[in-house]
Homo-oligomer: A and B are copies of this chain.
Amino acid sequence: MNATIKDVARAANVSIATVSRILNNQPGYSLKTKQRVLKAIKTLNYQPNAVARGLINKKTRTLGILVPNVSSMFSSLLLKGVEDAAYTRGYSVIMCHTANSGVRTMDYLHVLKEKRVDGLLFTSEVLKDAYYDEIRRMGVPLVLLATQSLNDSIPYVKVDDRMAAYHAVRYLIAKGHTKIGMISGNKEDRIAGQPRIDGFIQALKDHNLSFNQKQIVYGPSFSFDDGKRLLPDLLSKNRGLTAIFAASDFLAVGALSAAYSSGLRVPDDLSIIGYDNLEIAKMSLPPLTTVGQPLFQIGSVGGMMLIDIIEGKGNVEGRILPHQIIERQTVSERSKALTEKNYDKQ
């Protein structure tokens, strides 16, 4: 049905080798034949078969990306960044929704191996040994997005979570807050869990604020529902809290919702800072102050890095991208007077 290189060769009265050379602009033909071939290509509407090319070149110009949830606001921004890098470099990307499932992830790794992708992106999740072994057997480069591996020197692109959390809390302190609580997500999460908790605690200590374990409250995940459920919990365990650091925007927005339900006014009665700067942050009521991760950029830088490695231009080093405090309307300046007043209330 579709024209092949052979048809073009016949139409232009040359050999397929010549056509191939012209397609890949290598030397070895006259201008006249080049024009003749180009014309034949146009009239036949010929487009080279990437499958055949892939077979002989051992390059498919496609990447595989594994994400826990294709449709989450978080992952989808990473996806978009990766896609953008791939597009500008002439690659395609196969998306794999792992659903946090081990068997599904392994399934996909097998498929991606069979399809001979040139490289792999792994996102958000912890890179289990079983995954890593399989990827090593594939023999293709890998870069980690918004996550990091402990054991090995796998290139990654992410934000410094500990530092970002530190800055979020420092921002709260700079605004005059001294009684600060934290809504953490899953403590076990190697990226969004402990590092952000560490940053929280460190910021408190560095500013001579007391810290007690009950100032942190944990959820099974980082979701809206968790935030909604966790805020009252945190508040009841700690009297006089004036500000809260939430380890994700979803947690923060959930907390916002709980605050609203219980008549607490944000930011007048309670300040809240989130983490991620997802689309939802600017649409919440009131708009959420948060620490911004450049997710799109993480995706695109990671994609570029992977392609560099594939093409042998690789600097195979992890990269930390800058975070940023996005000031909106959920954190208020806290004067000494106000603080005193609140103390009186108790």
Bitwise, A58-95 to B at CB < 8 A (1) or not (0) is 00101000000111110011011001100100001111
Cα distance, A114 to B49, chains bound together (Å): 5
Bitwise, A97-120 to B at CB < 8 A (1) or not (0) is 100000010010011011110000
Partner of A71, one of B77, B115, B260: B77
Closest to A95 in B: B95
Which are the 8 A-B pairs with shortest beta-carbon distances?
A: A71-B80, A71-B76, A76-B76, A50-B114, A285-B285, A70-B80, A51-B54, A50-B115
Chain B positions within 8 Å of A54 at CB level: 51
Could you tell me the distance in whole angstroms from the C-beta of A69 to the nearest C-beta in chain B? 8
| A contacts with B, residue count (CB < 8 A) | 56
Chain B positions within 8 Å of A97 at CB level: 80, 83-84, 87
Q: Is A282 an interface residue (CB 8 A)?
A: yes
Within 8 A of B (CB), among A113-166: 113-116, 137, 139
Q: Is A284 an interface residue (CB 8 A)?
A: yes
Partner of A94, one of B94, B116, B285: B94
Partner of A139, one of B2, B104, B113, B139: B2
Q: Is A55 an interface residue (CB 8 A)?
A: yes
Could you tell me the distance in whole angstroms from the C-beta of A43 to the nearest C-beta in chain B? 13
Are B62 and A94 interface neighbours, CB within 8 A?
yes
Are A51 and B254 interface neighbours, CB within 8 A?
no
Chain B positions within 8 Å of A139 at CB level: 1-2
Instruction: Given A45-B137, A70-B83, A285-B257, decide whether A115 and B92 contact each other with a Cβ distance below 8 A.
Output: yes
Chain B positions within 8 Å of A282 at CB level: 224
Cα distance, A114 to B47, chains bound together (Å): 6
Are B48 and A114 interface neighbours, CB within 8 A?
yes
Cα distance, A137 to B1, chains bound together (Å): 10
Partner of A73, one of B93, B250, B256, B279: B279
Partner of A51, one of B60, B79, B111, B283: B60
Cα distance, A60 to B50, chains bound together (Å): 11
Are B224 and A283 interface neighbours, CB within 8 A?
yes
Q: Is A52 an interface residue (CB 8 A)?
A: yes
Bitwise, A180-202 to B at CB < 8 A (1) or not (0) is 00000000000000000000000
Are B83 and A95 interface neighbours, CB within 8 A?
yes
Chain B positions within 8 Å of A52 at CB level: 55
Are B116 and A51 interface neighbours, CB within 8 A?
yes
Most buried by B among A60, A69, A280, A296: A280
Ordered by A's residue number, 30 sampled pairs between the chains whose C-beta atoms are within 8 Å are: A47-B113, A47-B114, A49-B114, A50-B111, A50-B114, A51-B51, A51-B115, A51-B116, A62-B94, A70-B76, A70-B79, A71-B73, A71-B77, A71-B296, A73-B76, A79-B95, A80-B97, A83-B95, A83-B96, A84-B97, A87-B104, A92-B94, A93-B94, A93-B95, A94-B94, A250-B283, A253-B283, A257-B285, A283-B284, A285-B285
Closest to A77 in B: B71
Bitwise, A252-288 to B at CB < 8 A (1) or not (0) is 0110110010000000000000000001101111100
Chain B positions within 8 Å of A55 at CB level: 49, 51-52, 55
Chain B positions within 8 Å of A1 at CB level: 139
Closest to A254 in B: B283
